Chains A and B, each alone.
With several copies, the nearest count.
Chain A
Amino acid sequence: MDLSWSDSEAAFRAEARDWLAANVPDPPLASGDTREGFAAHLEWEHRLFDARWAVVSWPEAYGGRAASLWEWLIFEEEYYRAGAPQRVTQNGIFLLAPTLFEFGTPAQQERFLSRMASGEETWCQGWSEPDAGSDLAAIASRAVHDAANGGWRLSGQKTWTTRGAFCTHLFGLFRSDPDAERHRGLTYLLVPLDSPGITVRGFGRLDGDEGFAEVFFDNVFVPDDLVLGEVDEGWKVAMATTGSERGLTLRSPGRFLATTNRLVELARTRSADDPLVRQRIAQARIDAEAYQLHTLATVTRITDGEPPGAESSLTKVFWSELDVRLHETALGILGAEAELDDSAWMKGWQFALSGPIYAGTNEIQRNVIAERVLGLPRK
C-alpha cells in the first residue's frame, strides 16, 4: 500500500491546478442545461480542448494526454476543486466514447472522437422511452433495414434525453429484430439529429431548466456505417456504457470532495458550533473520503488487470445517496433561507434528487447487488 503520489503525478496536478486557476470563468457560466448556457459551456469546452484538458485519458491523436487513470482522478479532483463548469460534453466523452473505443470501427473513431472531444459535435443519449424507463429492455423504437439504400429506417420516440434540444448527435438503442424479446434484437445506432424525419422537443427538468428532450423519429434514414458494434447486439454494447456510467467515469470522487469542502465552508460561516450540523458535516467528510478511498482501491484493481463488475451498483447507490445527504445538510444549515431559489444549494439539491433515479433506479441497483453480488435467489 502506498497512498503517496509520484513526482510526475504531483507535477501533473500542479499543471492542471495552475491552468484551471487561470482559466476557470468567474462569475460562473449560466446553467449548461439552458440554450444560452449551453453555448457558453461549448466555448469553455473549446478552451479545454485547445489546452488538451478536455479528455486527458484519451490518446494524444484525439486531443488527449494518454493520462493514466490516476492522473485522470487527479485532474477530476482539481477540476471540481476549482469550481470549473459542468461538462456539457459528458454524455459523449464519458458514456459514448468508452463504447466507441471498445466497439467502434477505425473509421467511426476517426469520424467522431476528435469532434466529440472538441465540442464541435455534441452527443445525447437515446435510450429511455415513455414505456421503457427502469425497464430499459422494453425499448420499442424500431430500426428497419433498408437494403436498397444501405442503411436503417428509424421510427418511434425517445424521451428524458438530457440536453437533447442542444446536441448535434444522438446515440441510442433501437429494436432491429421485432421478433426478438427484451434484451435481444436491439441495435446501437449513431444518429445525426439533423437527419430528415427527426423532431426534437425540449422540456423542463425539476429545476425548470430545459435539460430534457423528447426525440421523435419518423422514418429516419441512418447509413449502415453508423451502427456501433454488431447488428442486434446493441444490448451488450450498451451495457458497456452503463458500466462506465455507473462506475468510475461519471461521478469521480473529486466531485463529492469538492461539495463536502463547500459544505464545510458554509457551516463555518453559519453554524460551526451547532452540534447537529457538526455530526452531519463529520459524516459528510467520512462518506466523501470513503468514496474516494473506494475508488482508489477500484483503480488499483483495474490497474492490476481485474475488471470492475456488478460492484458498480454498490458505487452508484452510494454516491447518489451521498449527494442527496450533502445537499440536505446544506439546506438544513440554511434554515428558512433554504427555500430561496438563488441559493446554489437548492439547485444542487434538485439535481442530486435525480441521482437515485437515473442510470438505473436505486431500487434496480439494490436488486442487482442482492442477486449478483450477494447471490440471493431471484424468485
Chain B
Amino acid sequence: MRFAFTDDQLAFRDAVRALLDKECPPAVVRAAWTNADGRSGAAWTALGEMGALGVLVAEADGGLGLSELDAVLLAEETGRAALPEPFVEHVLVGAPIVGGEDYATGAATVTAGDPLVPYADSADAIVRLGHDSFRCAATAASLDSRQSVDGSRRLFSIDGAEPRRALTRSEVSTAYWRGVLGFSAQLVGLAHHLLDVTIVYVTDRRQFGAPIGSFQALKHKLADVRIAIEFSAPLVYRAAYSLAHADPEAAVHVSMAKAAAADAATLAARHALQCHGAIGYSDEHDLHLWMKRVWALAATWGDADWHRDRVARATLDRT
C-alpha cells in the first residue's frame, strides 16, 4: 500500500508547472478571450515539445506510453494555470485514439465533445462520444459557434462532420471516463489557484485598520475551501489509479472525483469572489478568468448531481 506519486511523476508535474508559469501567465489566458482561436500558442507548442501532449499515446505511436496516473497531475497544473487549450480533450481523450507523431507532439490538435465541441475550428480532428454516434471525425463541414461564459472556450455545434471511423464501445467508455478524470483534475488545480490568490489578496487588503484576512468570517471561508480541496484531490488521484489499473469500479471512482472536485472548485470560486469584493467583480481583474473556467468545467461532462446519481446507482442498486 502506498498512496503517493513517484518522484518521476512529481518531477514531470513540476516541469509542466514551471513551463506554464513562464508560457501561460494570466495575460495569456486573458488574451485568449479575444484572439483568433482562443488558445495559448506558445504554451501548447512547448507542452508538445516536452511530451506532455502525448502522455497516453503508445510509444510505438510516437507518444510516451504512460498512464492516467502520469497525466492526472499535468491536467491539474493546466487547471491551476487556466491554460486556454483543449488539453483534456486532446491528451486524455483524443490523442490516444487518433495516435500518430503529429498528435503526440501537438503539431496537430484533436478535440472532443458532444453536442458542443470546444475549439472545433482550430482542431485537426474531432472525437465525438455522443450516445448516438461514436465517431472520430475529420474537422467538420459546418461549424455553428456558441458563446461560452468562458470567453476562451470556443464552442461549436457541428454539422456534416465526415466520419473517419467508428469507435468501439470500450474505446468510447475509456475515452469518456479519462475525459471526466481530466476535468476533475483541472477543477482541483483551478481551486488551488483561486485559494492562493485570495490568500494573498486578503493578507494585503486592509479595511477597518486591519488586513481583511484577519477577520474570522473570511478565515473560516478560506479554511472551508482548503478542506474541500484537501479531501477532493485524493478522490481524483485514486480515480486515476483505478483507470490505470482497469479497476472494475473505475467509472464510479471517476464520478466520485468529478462530484467532489466540481463542488470544491465551485466553493473556491464563490468564496474567492466574496473575499475580493467589488475589486474581484470587475473583468479587469484576473479573478473572473478562473471563476468562469470553473463554472464551465463544473457543468461540462456531467455536473456534480449527475455524477452523484451514478455513485448512488453503483452503491444502492448493486445486487
B46 contacts the other chain (CB 8 A): no
Which residues from 186 to 240 on chain B have a C-beta closer than 8 Å to any C-beta of chain A? 195, 199, 202-203, 206-208, 210-220, 222-224, 226-227, 230-232, 234-235, 237-238
B277 contacts the other chain (CB 8 A): yes
A67 contacts the other chain (CB 8 A): no
B259 contacts the other chain (CB 8 A): yes
Check if B260 sits within 8 Å of A206, measured CB to CB. Answer: no
- Selecting from A3-11, A76-84, A229-237, A243-251, the interface stretch reads A3-11
B36 contacts the other chain (CB 8 A): no
Check A367/B219 contact, CB under 8 A, given A314-B227, A314-B230, A353-B281: yes
**Residues of chain B within 8 A of A4, CB atoms compared:** 1
B168 contacts the other chain (CB 8 A): no
> In whole angstroms, what is the CA distance A377 to B6 when docked?
35
**Residues of chain A within 8 A of B241, CB atoms compared:** 1, 3
A239 contacts the other chain (CB 8 A): no
Kindly identify which residue among A208, A282, A299, A317 contacts B283, using a CB–CB cutoff of 8 Å: A208
A378 contacts the other chain (CB 8 A): yes
**Residues of chain B within 8 A of A358, CB atoms compared:** 278
B300 contacts the other chain (CB 8 A): yes
**Residues of chain B within 8 A of A332, CB atoms compared:** 303, 305
> In whole angstroms, what is the CA distance A377 to B207 when docked?
14
> In whole angstroms, what is the CA distance A131 to B306 when docked?
43
Check A2/B231 contact, CB under 8 A, given A286-B256, A286-B260: no
Check if B226 sits within 8 Å of A285, measured CB to CB. Answer: no
* A interface bracket (residues with beta carbon within 8 Å of B): 35 or more
Name the residue of chain B whose CB is nearest to the CB of A349: B295
> In whole angstroms, what is the CA distance A289 to B315 when docked?
13
A63 contacts the other chain (CB 8 A): no
Name the residue of chain A whose CB is nearest to the CB of B287: A206
> In whole angstroms, what is the CA distance A332 to B295 when docked?
11
- 0 or 1 for each of B1-32: is its CB under 8 Å from A? (1 = yes): 11111100000000000000000000000000
Which residues from 320 to 379 on chain A have a C-beta closer than 8 Å to any C-beta of chain B? 331-332, 334-342, 346, 350, 353-354, 356-358, 361-363, 365-367, 369-371, 373-379
Name the residue of chain A whose CB is nearest to the CB of B196: A374
B317 contacts the other chain (CB 8 A): yes
Check if A374 sits within 8 Å of B231, measured CB to CB. Answer: no
**Residues of chain B within 8 A of A370, CB atoms compared:** 213, 219-220, 222-223
Name the residue of chain A whose CB is nearest to the CB of B288: A206
> In whole angstroms, what is the CA distance A3 to B278 when docked?
40
Name the residue of chain B whose CB is nearest to the CB of A3: B241
A128 contacts the other chain (CB 8 A): yes
Check if B146 sits within 8 Å of A340, measured CB to CB. Answer: yes
Which residues from 115 to 150 on chain B have a C-beta closer than 8 Å to any C-beta of chain A? 116, 146-150
**Residues of chain A within 8 A of B218, CB atoms compared:** 363, 376
Name the residue of chain B whose CB is nearest to the CB of A319: B231
Check if A371 sits within 8 Å of B308, measured CB to CB. Answer: no
**How far is the CB of B299 from the nearest CB of chain A, in Å?**
5
B282 contacts the other chain (CB 8 A): yes
Check if A342 sits within 8 Å of B146, measured CB to CB. Answer: yes
**Residues of chain B within 8 A of A2, CB atoms compared:** 1-2
B312 contacts the other chain (CB 8 A): yes
| A5, A299, A335, A341, most chain B CB atoms within 10 A | A341
**Residues of chain B within 8 A of A264, CB atoms compared:** 315-316
B309 contacts the other chain (CB 8 A): yes
**Residues of chain A within 8 A of B216, CB atoms compared:** 363, 367
A12 contacts the other chain (CB 8 A): no
Check if A338 sits within 8 Å of B295, measured CB to CB. Answer: yes
Check A276/B305 contact, CB under 8 A, given A286-B256, A371-B219: yes
B83 contacts the other chain (CB 8 A): no
**Residues of chain A within 8 A of B1, CB atoms compared:** 2-6, 9, 70, 296, 300
Name the residue of chain B whose CB is nearest to the CB of A367: B219
Name the residue of chain A whose CB is nearest to the CB of B281: A206
Which residues from 168 to 189 on chain B have a C-beta closer than 8 Å to any C-beta of chain A? none
B42 contacts the other chain (CB 8 A): no
> In whole angstroms, what is the CA distance A317 to B219 when docked?
14
Kindly identify which residue among A205, A335, A362, A378 contacts B281, using a CB–CB cutoff of 8 Å: A205
Check if A301 sits within 8 Å of B219, measured CB to CB. Answer: no
**Residues of chain A within 8 A of B195, CB atoms compared:** 374
Kindly identify which residue among B199, B283, B301, B303 contacts A375, using a CB–CB cutoff of 8 Å: B199
B50 contacts the other chain (CB 8 A): no
A-B contact pairs, 24 of them (CB 8 A): A1-B237, A2-B1, A6-B1, A134-B212, A160-B281, A204-B282, A206-B273, A278-B308, A282-B312, A283-B259, A290-B231, A296-B1, A335-B306, A336-B303, A340-B147, A346-B149, A357-B277, A357-B281, A363-B217, A366-B219, A367-B220, A376-B202, A376-B218, A379-B210
Which residues from chain A sit less than 8 Å from chain B, CB to CB? 1-6, 9, 70, 128, 131, 133-135, 138, 159-160, 203-208, 212, 264, 267-268, 272, 275-276, 278-279, 281-283, 285-287, 289-291, 293-294, 296-297, 299-301, 304, 311, 314, 317-318, 331-332, 334-342, 346, 350, 353-354, 356-358, 361-363, 365-367, 369-371, 373-379
Q: Beyond the given A279-B305, A354-B281, please list 6 additional residue pairs across the A-B interface where CB-CB is below 8 A.
A: A272-B317, A285-B256, A314-B230, A332-B303, A341-B147, A350-B149
